[in-house]
Chains A and B, each alone.
Chain A
Amino acid sequence: MGGHVVLGVLARGLIGAIGLIAAATAAFAAEPVDIAIGYLGRAAVPQTLSPLDQPAADDGVAGARLAIEDNNTTGKFLNQRFTLLDRRVKDDEEAAQAANELAAKTGFILADLPADALLKVADGLRGRGITLLNVGATDDRLREQDCRANVIHVAPTRSMLADGLAQYLVWKQWKRWLLVTGSHDNDKLFADALRRAATRFGAKIVEERSFEDTGGARRTDSGVTLIQRQMPVFTQKAAAYDVLVAADESEVFANYLPYRTWDARPVAGSAGLRPTSWDPSQDQWGATQLQNRFMKLALRRMDALDMQAWMAVRMVGEAASRTNSGDAKAMADYLKSPNFTIAAFKGTRLSLRDWNLQLRQPILLADGRMIVSVSPQEGFLHQVSELDTLGVDRPETKCKLQ
């Protein structure tokens, strides 16, 4: 079974490559311009509470592969050929080394790495004319006090995600929040972003609780019996609230909350209504075709990390076609210029914030079945771009690009 899939993919790649060479030979006498793009990803796959949320082994890189195919479809008309160099790493040490090796072969490296590992890689590659495209880390500090001139951020920040959610909750008049935060650092960072969003958009956190991770397996033979007893008690006697907002990036408790809160209240944040850059159910603005292409390639639907990688590779492809060049410097200059915009099936054009190289983008609100809404919400205005109502704006930034 697995062998067949691999063979199928190989065969498809071969046929694609032959077709491409044939097309290029027919149209051009010259050899195509080769543009390699690196992908630096994590070897380990995180555990999730719901088996439906369990990422596939090719999570992220599958999106990059699809964008390589899309770039090559365009590339055959421009005599450009794109390839992907995929590397998986276990720790910071390995990441820096793999980045070094990739840097010898390509000017663009997608990175799905934790914040510290990403900074180490970025600083290791400084001055070598390499552009990193951050597709995984949502940490605001990477775009603020720890920003780097050689890193473009395709993934949204926690503050963009929190603001996208907050705008909708405020529009819905669910302004009284019960905030429940997990005990890990990333959970606390997301809670910070949610607190900031509440203040920004006029919601009120009426009470905060924290959920300690005391360890334990995510799945047990005894099933949900215990959870059904724990969660109502955990949410009992809260101050009057409209919506429970959970900050649990670590997948410890948030998905246990819907339908189990003491009061009959909706859940949002890390479970229930979730802010995200993309969702397998997204099919608006022509995304049906993208999802269909992705399904053909990866035998599943596209999630947020896949989409962030797709956008990053498409950005490189866009730079190559607009500059009609495979020169890494010319392409990077184009991406950082005010001329750069890109279409990504989100109903509006995306562009880069020039002060910290963060991709502006709408935030989808998904309930796991459907897209409930897309932020920015109507009425949240901005003098430059309404997308800048999401996340840290120019006047507040701590970033000094260097």
Chain B
Amino acid sequence: MRKLRDQLPKRAPLAASLLAAALCLPPIAPASAFVAFVSNEKGNTVSVIDTDSWTVTKTIKVGQRPRGIAYTRDGKFVMVAVGDDDTIQVIDAKKLEIVDTLPSGPDPELFAQDAAGKTLYVANENDNTVTVLDLEKRIRIGDVQVGVEPEGMMLSPDGKILICTSETTNMAHFIDTATRKIVANVLVDARPRYAEFKSDGSELWVSAEIGGTVSIIDPAKREVTGKIKFAIPGLRSEAIQPVGISLTKDGKTGFVALGPANRVAVVDGTTHEVKKYLLVGQRVWHMEFTPDEKYLLATNGVSNDVSVIDVAAQKVIKTIQVGELPWGITIAQP
């Protein structure tokens, strides 16, 4: 491990939140193919997908129970939280092998990184804590006590506020990243799992898996201003369990993964009306756009595959078999 660690540039800025990665990449030539990394929660593997051929090119063995996964800002590494090993592993995006581990605190699930690439915020589900890591020094530099079972982690576009959702407390905690203190707590519906900002910072969307809704929060007023509800004919409401959220850069369209409802909802980003339900695989978890926003890839936990959605056509065009119980996904240029 030491040897491998030495291969990693010491000052390499590591990690990026899913949103930050999508936002900060340079303009993309249209012909480029991308690489997607999918964490397989039960398989203890990461599947590497080439978005040109839509095939799995490699399966990487990782630690126990990989879930949260994200490219580093420089695109050189992929970080994956392996909760049952109490660490975050670092995969070299070229060599496709594990080259390092980070001291994440117990049971890391989802994480977010600041704009400078220096600080990583990790949700530790087991002890109601958000751990703050210095990525250069590889040390824990602080923690924030939050509600019961922190999960969703997202930084505001200006980097000033970190959102952490706690699943049993049912809140979105607003944490000031400068002082590392909670400045507001917004009550949402039961079991909030994921938070996503519009790229202009005007809205925060928080999904509630058991509540069955997505709360729209005004980040300035720090209050819920609206709720997206879902209804699918022939499906009992308990099966509709919103988890992953992806918003287009222009904020005009939102996609919400509905878990065991086996559908992704397409939501008007302005009126918050549900426009359409796209049938995907079983128990859809998280999603990620290709950097050109042409495609949205969604992980289907129970059917062990990834659905490819054509964003403009709002259609599922492809299904790719991956490892056992796919959960998280991150995409960047090769």
Chain A residues with a Cβ under 8 A of chain B: 23, 70, 73-74, 77-78, 286, 289, 292-293, 314, 318, 321-322, 341-343, 347-349, 382, 385-387
Contact = CB atoms under 8 A, between A and B. Distances in A.
Contacts of A292: 126
B210 A385 contact: no
B238 interface: yes
B100 interface: no
A341 B210 contact: yes
Interface stretch (B131-139, B167-175, B194-202, B273-281): B167-175
Given A77-B169, A348-B210, A343 B147 contact: no
A342 B238 contact: no
A77 B182 contact: yes
B185 A77 contact: yes
10 contacts: A73-B147, A73-B148, A77-B182, A314-B168, A318-B170, A342-B210, A343-B167, A343-B191, A349-B211, A382-B236
Interface string B246-274: 00000000000000100000000000000
Nearest to A73: B148
B190 A349 contact: yes
Interface of B is mostly: loop
Q: Which 6 A-B pairs have the closest CB atoms?
A: A343-B210, A74-B169, A77-B185, A343-B190, A349-B210, A343-B191
A218 B145 CA distance: 48
B238 A386 contact: yes
B238 A73 contact: no
Interface in B147-177: 147-149, 166-171, 173
A321 B238 contact: no
A378 B163 CA distance: 37
A349 B190 CA distance: 8
B128 interface: yes
Contacts, number: 64
B211 A289 contact: no
Given A74-B147, A286-B191, A292-B126, 13 more contacts: A73-B147, A73-B169, A74-B166, A74-B170, A77-B185, A286-B125, A321-B170, A341-B211, A343-B168, A343-B190, A343-B191, A343-B211, A385-B238
B114 interface: no
B215 to A, nearest CB: 14
B107 interface: yes
A348 B191 CA distance: 10
B311 interface: no
Interface residues of B, number: 28
Interface string B99-119: 000000001000000000000
A80 to B, nearest CB: 12
A343 B213 CA distance: 14
Interface in B171-220: 171, 173, 182, 185, 187, 190-191, 209-212
Contacts of B149: 286, 289
Contacts of B211: 341, 343, 349
Given A70-B168, A321-B187, A386-B236, A289 B212 contact: no
A74 B6 CA distance: 43
A383 to B, nearest CB: 9
B191 A387 contact: no
A322 B236 CA distance: 24
A312 to B, nearest CB: 15
A349 B212 contact: yes
A23 B181 CA distance: 11
A293 B128 CA distance: 10
Nearest to B190: A343
A77 B182 CA distance: 9
Contacts of A322: 187
A191 B260 CA distance: 34
Contacts of B173: 77
A289 B125 contact: yes
